[in-house]
Amino acid sequence: MLIEIAIADAYGAGFEYADPTPDRPNDATAYVRHLRFHRRVQPGMFTDDTQTSCAIAECLLAGTTTPLDFASAIVTAFRRDPRGGYARGFRDFLEGVVDGPDFLARIRPDSEKSGGAMRVGPVGLLGSIEEVLAISATQARITHDTPGGTGAAQGAALMVFHQLRCLGPISDLPEFLAEHVPAVDWRMPHRGRAGPKGEQIARTALAVLLDASSLTDVLRRTVEFGGDTDTVAAIAMAAASVSSEMRRDLSETLIDGLEGGEYGRDYLLELDRRLSAKFAAPIVMAGPRG
């Protein structure tokens, strides 16, 4: 899962609020450089969507799921591997806090944006709807304690849960989500430019899942909609990566071109293996090979 999230995040980062161009095509065969944003993010590098997903995954693996645990993990992940892609205000915040308690003391958790949803994918691996709803809300509320911000996170996690547990076809997702997360109008998937509010980004990810037939299709359709493409792609890919309906056809250039380093591709793969072992979830990642 985390490998696919990272590939989607890195691919989408090149098109965030920026349309494709002839020399930067949306063909899902290579990463592209963003012309204005993310100057610290080179092609193949992932952003905050993946880094904070790793923080959440590490908490789940450790069995530590309090607000303080999640806050501490996010601070630790950023400080050990500072990177671009974070919103400027939140990056400045992370650079200023020293640990989890300081994070919780200083944060204003009133955002309606997508931070709680973009990092929640691993929570969908948990074993029951009740647990998924509770833990996805807990991690969201440390930064996005609003109906839209928290509801988007709960829905994004349940997309993963529904597909992993084979509760029905992807076409059933709008009704399933509407039943369990009424704060967001899941019966109205958003097929258009996404952002900045988290509920719209999550509904766009839902539309991508409903329309796509493969992992590559998820990438292309996300960029076609436009807007906050790295976050939409990361949310949609988390569910697509565990779905039996999605062909696993990611380009080798995207798999091989994903960043390495201490907390890069191999680290993500190891987290995926540990998540699979702990939560009895299949490893369905695209790579690396060999």
Residue 60, Cβ density class (10 Å: 0-12 exposed, 13-18 middle, ≥19 buried): buried
Q: Could you report how far apart the first and last alpha carbons of the chain are, in Å?
A: 18
In a domain, 205, yes or no: yes
Distance, CA of 5 to CA of 53 (rounded, Å): 9
In a domain, 254, yes or no: yes
In a domain, 33, yes or no: no
pLDDT-based confidence at residue 38 (cuts at 50, 70, 90)? low
Please, which residues have CB within 8 angstroms of residue 40's CB and are 6 or more apart in sequence? Answer: 83, 84, 85
Asked if the model's pLDDT at residue 143 lies above 90, the reply is yes
Give φ, ψ of 268 to 5 degrees: -60, -40
Asked if the model's pLDDT at residue 288 lies above 70, the reply is no
What was the pLDDT predicted at 6?
Answer: 98
How crowded is the C-beta side of 12, counted as CA atoms within 13 Å? 36
In a domain, 251, yes or no: yes
Asked if the model's pLDDT at residue 30 lies above 70, the reply is yes
Q: Mean pLDDT score of the chain, rounded to an integer?
A: 94
pLDDT-based confidence at residue 287 (cuts at 50, 70, 90)? very low
What was the pLDDT predicted at 131?
Answer: 98
Q: Which one, of 209, 286, 288, lies nearest residue 249 by Cα?
A: 286
Distance, CA of 56 to CA of 74 (rounded, Å): 8
Asked if the model's pLDDT at residue 284 lies above 70, the reply is no
In a domain, 27, yes or no: no
What was the pLDDT predicted at 119?
Answer: 98
Residue pLDDT, tens place only, 235-249 = 999 999 999 999 999
pLDDT-based confidence at residue 34 (cuts at 50, 70, 90)? confident
In a domain, 218, yes or no: yes
Give the residues across from 110 on adjacent strands: 144
DSSP string, 44-92: T---HHHHHHHHHHHHHHHT--SHHHHHHHHHHHHHHS--S-S-HHHHH
pLDDT-based confidence at residue 282 (cuts at 50, 70, 90)? low
Asked if the model's pLDDT at residue 285 lies above 60, the reply is no
Listed in sequence order, the DSSP H helices in the chain are 2-13, 48-62, 67-80, 88-96, 100-106, 115-118, 129-141, 147-164, 173-180, 198-211, 215-225, 229-240, 252-257, 265-279
Phi-psi region of 228 (alpha: psi -120 to 50; beta: other; left: phi over 0): beta
Number of domains in the chain: 1
Contact criterion met (CB below 8 Å) for 175 and 140: no
pLDDT-based confidence at residue 290 (cuts at 50, 70, 90)? very low
CATH of the domain at 268: 1.10.4080.10
What range defines the domain where residue 103 resides?
A: 2-18+41-279
What was the pLDDT predicted at 258?
Answer: 97
Per DSSP, the three-state class of 35 is coil
What was the pLDDT predicted at 49?
Answer: 97
Report the percent of the chain where pLDDT is more than 70.
95
Radius of gyration of the chain (CA): 17
Residue pLDDT, tens place only, 250-268 = 999 999 999 999 999 999 9
What was the pLDDT predicted at 39?
Answer: 62
Asked if the model's pLDDT at residue 105 lies above 60, the reply is yes
Q: Which one, of 168, 150, 147, 149, lies nearest residue 159 by Cα?
A: 168
In a domain, 35, yes or no: no
In a domain, 286, yes or no: no
Average pLDDT over residues 149-173: 97
Residue 52, Cβ density class (10 Å: 0-12 exposed, 13-18 middle, ≥19 buried): buried
Asked if the model's pLDDT at residue 286 lies above 50, the reply is no
